[in-house]
Amino acid sequence: MAIIRSSLALCAMVLVSTHGHAQERRDIFSDPQNLKVLPEDISRAELRATMRSFAIDLGLTCASCHVGEDDQSIFEYDFAADDKAMKLIARDMISMVEDINKTVRKSDRDEGHEFVTVNCVTCHRGQDKPRMIQDVLAEVYDDEGIEATISKYTELRDQFYGGFTFDFSADRLGLFAQSLAATASEDAMRVHNLNVELNPHAGAAYSGRGQASQRAGDLKSALADYKNAVALDPNFAFLGQVITSLEAQLAED
Ligand code: HEC
Ligand code: HEC
C-alpha cells in the first residue's frame, strides 16, 4: 500500500522542468501516444484518474503494467510501451468492461432508470486477481491442510479486515466449514471453533457449529450453541423448536 501511495504522489506532480534551462513543461498524461482502447480524445484529467483508479482498484503500482521501476521517477517511465503482459491484459479488461456495461444497458427498464456502472473495482476489490476468500482457503486446504488454512485466514484477516477485498463474515466462514464437513468433519469443527473465537457476537458462528455438533451426535454442545445463536441474533429464533426438542431428548437420557 505504501508503494501505491508514493507512486500516486508522484503522479500528482505532473508539471516539471526538463532539459536543463529549457524549462520545458512536461505532463505524462497530456499527449498519449499509444491508446488502443481508451478514447483517443480522452482528457488528461480523465486519463490520470483512470490510471490512478486502475492502481487502487487492483492493488498495483504503475510499474506493474508499465515499463519502469517503483523507485524510479515517474518521468523516466515509458508509458507508451506495450512490453508488460499486465498492460495487455488490462486492455482486454477495459474492452470487456465496456461490453458488460453495454449489455447491462440493453435491458428494458422504466424511463429514467439509472443503470449501475460496472468498473474494475466491481470485481477486483483491491486485488490483481479478484479471488473470493472461500476459493483462497479451499486452495490452501487442498495443498497444505487445515493448519495452513487457519494460519492463512488469520493472516488475511489481520491484513484486510475492515476493507472490501475479502468477506470475513461469520456466515462466509461457516459456509467454508460446511464445505469440509462431508469429507473432514474434524477439520470442519476446527473452522467452526475459529469462527466462534473470531466472531463471538455472531449468531451464525454458533448456529453453524451447533449444526456440526448435532450431526456428530454431541447434543449438549449443539444445544448450548443454538441457545447462544438465538440470544445473539433474532434471525435464529427459528431454532427455538430445535432447542425444545434437544432439551427433551437430553432429559430422556
Ligand atoms: C492494470 C494496469 C495498469 C496500471 C496499474 C496503470 N496503467 Fe497506465 N495504462 C494501462 C493501459 C492498458 C494503457 C493503455 C490504454 C489503451 O490502450 O487505450 C495505459 C496507458 C497509460 C498512459 C498513456 C500512455 C501512452 O502514451 O499511450 C499513461 C501516461 C499511463 N497509463 C500512466 C499510468 C500511471 C501514471 C499509472 C500509475 C498511477 C498507471 N498508468 C497505472 C494500464 C495500466
Ligand atoms: C467482471 C469482473 C471483472 C472486471 C469488471 C474486471 N476484471 Fe480484471 N480480472 C477478472 C478476473 C476473473 C481475472 C483473473 C483472470 C485469471 O484467472 O487469471 C482478472 C485479471 C486481471 C488482470 C491480470 C491480473 C494478474 O495478476 O494476472 C488485470 C491486469 C486486470 N484484470 C485488469 C482489469 C482492469 C484494468 C479492469 C477495469 C478496466 C478489470 N480488470 C475489470 C475479472 C474482472
Ligand 1 lining (C-beta closer than 6 Å): 7-8, 11, 28-29, 32-38, 51-52, 54-55, 58, 60, 62, 64-66, 74, 79-80, 86-87, 90-91
pLDDT for the residue numbered 245: 96
Residues 66 and 139 in one domain: no
Q: How far apart are CA 20 and CA 207, in angstroms?
A: 70
Q: How far apart are CA 30 and CA 158, in angstroms?
A: 40
Residues 173 and 230 in one domain: yes
pLDDT greater than 70 at residue 67:
yes
- Residue to mutate, 11, 43, 51, ligand 1, most ligand atoms under 8 Å from C-beta: 51
pLDDT greater than 90 at residue 21:
no
The CA 127 to ligand 2 mean position distance, Å, reads 9
The CA 88 to ligand 1 mean position distance, Å, reads 10
- Do the domain assignments include residue 123? no
- Enter the C-alpha cell of residue 36: 488502443
* Over residues 94-100, mean pLDDT: 97
Q: How far apart are CA 87 and CA 114, in angstroms?
A: 31
Q: Are 70 and 3 in contact (CB under 8 A)?
A: yes
Burial 109-119 (b: 16+ CB within 10 A, else e): eeeeeeeeebe
- Do the domain assignments include residue 97? no
What is each CA distance from 210 to 145, 218, 221, in whole angstroms?
23, 9, 7
Closest CA to 136 of 126, 150, 120: 150
For 74, the domain range is 2-88
Q: Which atom of ligand 2 is nearest to the CA of 86?
A: 29
Q: Which ligand is nearest to the CA of 76?
A: 1
The CA 90 to ligand 2 mean position distance, Å, reads 7
Residues 184 and 73 in one domain: no
Residues 70 and 172 in one domain: no
* Protein residue with least CA distance to atom 26, ligand 2: 128
Label residue 251 by pLDDT band (50, 70, 90). very high
- For 132-171, write each residue's pLDDT tens digit: 999 999 999 999 999 999 999 999 999 999 999 999 999 9
- Do the domain assignments include residue 108? no
pLDDT greater than 50 at residue 11:
no
Label residue 253 by pLDDT band (50, 70, 90). confident
The CA 157 to ligand 2 mean position distance, Å, reads 23
The CA 28 to ligand 2 mean position distance, Å, reads 25
Q: Which residue has the cell 468498473?
A: 119
- Number of structural domains found in the chain: 2
Average pLDDT of the chain to the nearest whole number: 91
- Do the domain assignments include residue 174? yes
Q: How far apart are CA 62 and CA 72, in angstroms?
A: 11
- Enter the C-alpha cell of residue 48: 490520470
Last residue of a domain, one of 66, 88, 110: 88
Residues 141 and 39 in one domain: no
Q: Which residue has the cell 449501475?
A: 116
Last residue of a domain, one of 29, 61, 88: 88
- Residue to mutate, 61, 98, 117, 124, ligand 2, most ligand atoms under 8 Å from C-beta: 124
* Protein residue with least CA distance to atom 28, ligand 1: 79
The CATH number for 169's domain is: 1.25.40.10
For residues 3 and 238, the model is more confident at 238
Q: Which ligand is nearest to the CA of 85?
A: 2
**10 CB under 6 A from ligand 2?**
no
Residues 145 and 241 in one domain: yes
pLDDT greater than 70 at residue 18:
no
* Over residues 94-103, mean pLDDT: 97
pLDDT for the residue numbered 36: 97
pLDDT for the residue numbered 22: 43
Last residue of a domain, one of 54, 88, 122: 88
Residues 10 and 67 in one domain: yes
- What single letter denotes the amino acid at residue 175? L
- Do the domain assignments include residue 71? yes
Residues 234 and 143 in one domain: yes
Q: Which atom of ligand 1 is nearest to the CA of 62?
A: 37
Region for residue 63 given its phi and psi (left: phi exceeds 0; alpha: psi -120 to 50; beta: otherwise): alpha
- What single letter denotes the amino acid at residue 63? A
Residues 78 and 155 in one domain: no
- Do the domain assignments include residue 232? yes
* Over residues 38-44, mean pLDDT: 94
Region for residue 68 given its phi and psi (left: phi exceeds 0; alpha: psi -120 to 50; beta: otherwise): left
Q: How far apart are CA 251 and CA 11, in angstroms?
A: 71
Q: How far apart are CA 34 and CA 75, in angstroms?
A: 17
- For 181-227, write each residue's pLDDT tens digit: 989 999 999 999 999 999 999 999 999 999 999 999 999 999 999 99
pLDDT greater than 80 at residue 88:
yes
- Do the domain assignments include residue 20? yes
The most confident of the ranges 25-29, 70-74, 109-113, 119-123 is: 119-123
The CA 114 to ligand 1 mean position distance, Å, reads 29
- Do the domain assignments include residue 120? no
Residues 70 and 164 in one domain: no
Residues 147 and 240 in one domain: yes
